[in-house]
Amino acid sequence: MELFHEESGIGERIARLRTRRKLTQEGLAERAGLCVDIVRKLEQGVRQTARLSTLNALARALDVEPSALVGQPATFEVREEGERPSVLALRQAVSPVSDLLGEEPDPEDPPGIAALRASLRSTERIRREGRMAEIGALLPQLIRDAQVAARAFQGSDAAAAHAVLAEAYQVAATTLAALGKEDAAFTALERSMAAAAKGDDPRLETVGHSCLAWVLTKQGRLADAERVAVRAAERIEPGFRSPPGELALWGILLLRAATAAVRLERHAAVHELLAMASAAAARIGTDRLDYATPFGPTNVGVAKVNFLVEMAESAEALRTTRTIPALHSLPPTWRARFHVDRALACADLHRDDGALQALLSAERTAPEWMRYHATGRRLVAELRNRERRRTSPLTELAGRLGLDG
């Protein structure tokens, strides 16, 4: 069975939406604030990828979410009986119909708090490693277990169960957003915030705002994303004697804000936010993992590479890649994204062999994640179209990713 299929390329999607909006290529370019040559090349298939700031500008002009342009492989949907749980199972766990109907849930014996926490840590690790099918199988049950425990327990146990539930919803939100299901991700975050308010961990609200900024970014609501992250960072701005955990959460929020700002092409703000995050990372002095998100000198370096790629400073991005300390300390999905950014920089400089080697590194690091990552898939498709050989490591990579043609 073919698991991955993309019915059309980015150019065809743009052209279809543009025609539906009764816009000429010139009209779309003007509305998006772009050169018409970019629109033409994308629609003609000369270019099959673009900077995310370009995609966000086109999405705003066409009044759609960015995922509607780049496409999402329908790899996580239920196709037939017997397949593993999927996006549908996550939707059902996050938004059970029984809540709307006012039905009493089936009586179940709740798991203990220690078991819930162990399941949460395991699920977070699987998500960081990019093992998407396992997340689809395990996360819905974790959410249901935490819901049962939160209803059944009293006092401190109930608060602890709500904290686990809040984190499980956050994992669901980031997973759904990564799969292009931004509205479902937003619903998961709303539920996370409600659970966090009843939990025993005051930092979960801050973590929720970090996740919200990411989901808003995926929706193309970039100004909202930046505002959410900046305001949350201002509320918790650490002092001279703040513990490393607080510095890390603050730094993560700054990087979330910078991610939105770079896609808005607010480059001065990006440099300012990155400088503050770098100072926080230097103060911590080592790489940490808090609430399933890394922060420290390595992750700030990786983020800088990403921002340079977005700002079309590809040569500087490649120079910066050689200064990243302790890349092995990051989770696999972060390392794989770093390799995709290296590939984008190489491709922009027409170093296609370097781009291929970076893409192969990303695949080795997180193979299943790579099959779902829209930017990596688009870049492979573009490189394949630039290559004339019928059989090569690039065409073999495209085959493993299930790219048609």
The model's confidence at residue 108, banded by pLDDT at 50, 70 and 90, is low
> Is it the case that residue 84 has pLDDT exceeding 80?
no
Residue with tokens 């065409």: 395
Query: pLDDT-based confidence at 351, cuts 50/70/90?
Result: very high
107 pLDDT band (50/70/90 cuts)? low
What are the sequence ranges of the domains in the chain?
1-71, 74-201, 221-327, 331-405
C-alpha 100/C-alpha 369 separation (Å) is 34
pLDDT(75) > 80: no
Q: What are the φ and ψ backbone dihedral angles of 294, each rounded to 5 degrees?
A: -80, 150
pLDDT at 74: 46
pLDDT at 237 over 60: yes
Lowest mean pLDDT among 34-48, 83-97, 175-189, 280-294: 83-97
The pLDDT value recorded for residue 256 is 98
pLDDT, position 7: 44
- Looking at residue 4, its pLDDT comes to 33
Stretch 359-365: mean pLDDT = 97
Residue 71: pLDDT band by 50, 70, 90 thresholds? low
243-283 pLDDT tens trace: 999 999 999 999 999 999 999 999 999 999 999 999 999 99
Query: Which of 47-56, 84-93, 153-162, 263-272 shows the lowest mean pLDDT across its residues?
Result: 47-56
| pLDDT score recorded for residue 81 | 45
For 390-399, how does the pLDDT look when each residue is reduced to its tens digit (9 = 90+)? 678 999 999 9
Report which listed range, 5-14, 101-110, 238-247, 304-313, is most confident: 304-313
Q: Does 29 score more than 60 pLDDT?
A: yes
Nearest CA to 174 out of 189, 158, 190 is that of 189
Average pLDDT over the chain, rounded to whole?
88
Residue scoring higher pLDDT (96 or 342): 342
- pLDDT tens sequence across 180-231: 889 999 999 999 999 999 999 999 999 999 999 999 999 999 999 999 999 9
Match domain 1-71 to its CATH number in 1.10.260.40, 3.40.50.1110, 3.55.50.30, 1.10.150.120: 1.10.260.40
What pLDDT sits at residue 105?
A: 63
d(CA 149, CA 162): 8
Residue 288 phi, psi dihedral angles, 5° rounding: -120, 165
Is pLDDT of 405 > 90? no
- Whether pLDDT at 47 is above 80: no
Whether 61 shows a pLDDT value over 80: the answer reads: yes
User: What is the model's pLDDT at position 76?
Assistant: 53
Residue bearing the bigger pLDDT, 96 or 229:
229
Question: Between 341 and 141, where is the model more confident?
Answer: 341
> pLDDT tens digit string along 288-338?
999 999 999 999 999 999 999 999 999 999 999 999 988 999 999 999 999
Residue 404 confidence (pLDDT): 64
